[in-house]
Structure 1
């Protein structure tokens, strides 16, 4: 599955970096239309996480993943067939729904196949994901030097083909045992009610805090580039360099850092240094506005390092706690609800970051402090709920394709 993630993210890297340009220059959409399309697709995608998790508790996860990858492929190929706005919006929304559902199911697969080693498995998976994104992005940048509409179309086609390849590779993966399906088969009382994450107030509160902790994603996609663009004397070329720094750090350090959170207690304890990283990241962003070019560049680089560290620590904490807090018989449903945090963050994140930018240095200080306080809240929230033993199933041997 790690190799599958790599192929998947190469395709996503081809498309994500040029999607807005494609809709603008190939489909001929206005800025408002592109913004609306992206917003609607993102909103529809929010439903993909809980829907995918619920289905995976009832059907073999590899089959569901194959179906979702083919759905994503069809949606991408469909975008090539029309410039009609309503159809483009529909196809983009379908693709977003499949993308968010597939993301949750990939995490669920890792949970079931890796057992107690799920954090290390996810770290390897995330490293492969970042490497794939980088490779796809570089290929897209090279293709765009041609400056033709055909280049855009070939990049979108490459994204679609990657989903077909991923679906075929998933056929080679063994199906891991599902605690929910095993429990359902073993029960003699067919009317028993499975655990419902929507009635679990503690888990819902945990997911709410996760939404705030996931804001680091928007910092790199929107916050740093916009802050640099509006900072006096800071070279605009620093923005892509900091994104490269983020990617390189994740590829190099995600797996080693994951070793710090291989148990539930250790993962929870990481919330404290995570809180410090967020707070310091906000402070260095604020201070970058108070000096000359060299000082600002150094502080922005320090902020990028701190937010990347926070990103990696949060990923490690999230992988462990989201599973440890979920009943083994409803892991899919619970991880689906947990997936709402990332999906929701994609909607509120831009608002939070632009508000911080508009407020100035104080805004970034408040931004970092707010996430830091949320880390402390989550640390307290999960204390009484955590189980003394992991809830994962034993690991099984699978193909790494």
Structure 2
């Protein structure tokens, strides 16, 4: 037995890319989602019951902080190109903690908006910094690393949500303060753990470039790269799966179908369970850039099935509604996972080595923008009626076709010019 246990432990460690630092950063991501699950569930209620804001004020605060957060992704990517990545991550964690602690100091509305907006900047930068760290620490296994990270994050989010539910059952101001403080202190713990991580190797310059050329050549600028901006715009369309599942689906169940209202949380549970079960196994289908590009074809099919099922759900009785909604939730969950894999790999592959952080930061705008615009868009679709869903499906399918051509052209151009220099590995 003494020989078996260490061998099992060693086997598990070998299956996680990135070595000790990679595993430590996975723990950081898990803690991050635990804390976020605690606070995000109760944030709107905190501003309502503790600080005494009205419904309109709460909505405007969340909207303004979300708009400010859009700048977080490109800002974080730019800083990661200029400073050590681990230090940037630590600073973002400390800033998130400071913004939350600041909320405890005032009930003054302009200050609450300011502190929420300040906290949204590093919050939106986190996904970009995590992706960049994965690309550097895990090397060619970055897709598997990100899949494991997403799985552990789902566990953390679930645990945080359960903790928030228990605290909200109490309903006192103290309970809300505990949730806020729990999230704030989680960032301090994350900063302490991150400080123990070694700085991962940055992308190497092309071997043919001389030292003089490296000093005189200006870094690539994603804002002047129309092809990459077009790719990012297509990504923002794909990320609508998040708003469809989180916002539109519950509203659609209530306002358009004969399905029981209790189906809405069950579909979100199905979503979480499927991600935990299949995100890592599916990652092997996107292990290379060409493989990730080919995933855009099944992604189009999944979008089509999901939107057509949503459109069909109100056309019959409760049985048809439940069946169609389950089919839609499953199809869109697999679309979410497939898109996540393709997005991770292709965005890194398209980013030049001399401006990897800046490019991934601009790519992060796709998700940030969707979080701001997506709920408004899908709410409008719900109000239009069943025929709006096939129309949205057609847009999504057309976008996958355009994205496939764009990515193939970009990758072909890069392979004919300068050989791709991958991230250095340990």
TM-score, normalising length from structure 1?
Answer: 0.96
Q: Distance in 1 between matches of 2:54 and 2:393?
A: 34
Structure 2, unpaired ranges of 5+: 1-24
Please tell me whether the aligned partners of residues 180 and 330 of structure 1 are also in contact (alpha carbons under 8 angstroms).
Answer: no
Please tell me whether the aligned partners of residues 268 and 317 of structure 1 are also in contact (alpha carbons under 8 angstroms).
Answer: yes
The Cα offsets for residues 247-303 of structure 1, whole Å up to 9 and x where unpaired, read as 111111100111111011110000000001011100000100111112101111110
**Residue number among 105, 118, 124 corresponding to 1:94 in the alignment:** 118
1:2-401 correspondence to structure 2 within 5 Å? 2-179=26-203, 187-189=211-213, 190-386=215-411, 387-388=414-415, 391-396=421-426
Q: Number of residue pairs matched?
A: 395
Q: Distance in 2 between matches of 1:393 and 1:164?
A: 29
**CA drift at 1:391:** 4.2
Larger Rg computed on CA atoms: 2
**CA drift at 1:19:** 0.8
Q: Distance in 2 between matches of 1:130 and 1:271?
A: 24
Q: Distance in 2 between matches of 1:128 and 1:319?
A: 17
SS for the counterpart of 1:29 is coil
Are residues 391 and 216 of structure 1, via their aligned partners in 2, closer, same or farther at CA, if it must alter by over 3 Å?
farther
Q: Distance in 2 between matches of 1:330 and 1:237?
A: 47
Are residues 182 and 125 of structure 1, via their aligned partners in 2, closer, same or farther at CA, if it must alter by over 3 Å?
farther
Please tell me whether the aligned partners of residues 23 and 29 of structure 1 are also in contact (alpha carbons under 8 angstroms).
Answer: yes
Structure 1, unpaired ranges of 5+: 397-401
Question: More displaced, 312-321 or 22-31?
Answer: 22-31
Q: CA RMSD in A?
A: 1.6
Please tell me whether the aligned partners of residues 204 and 422 of structure 2 are also in contact (alpha carbons under 8 angstroms).
Answer: no
Q: Distance in 2 between matches of 1:48 and 1:172?
A: 25
The Cα offsets for residues 180-212 of structure 1, whole Å up to 9 and x where unpaired, read as 7999x9732533211111111110100000000
SS for the counterpart of 2:216 is coil
SS for the counterpart of 2:170 is coil
Please tell me whether the aligned partners of residues 303 and 396 of structure 2 are also in contact (alpha carbons under 8 angstroms).
Answer: yes
Question: More displaced, 282-291 or 79-88?
Answer: 79-88
Q: Distance in 2 between matches of 1:12 and 1:220?
A: 19
**CA drift at 1:231:** 2.9
Please tell me whether the aligned partners of residues 264 and 390 of structure 1 are also in contact (alpha carbons under 8 angstroms).
Answer: no
The Cα offsets for residues 282-328 of structure 1, whole Å up to 9 and x where unpaired, read as 00001001111121011111100011000000000000000111111
Question: More displaced, 286-295 or 5-14?
Answer: 286-295
Match of 1:399 in 2: none
Q: Distance in 2 between matches of 1:182 and 1:139?
A: 49
SS for the counterpart of 2:82 is coil
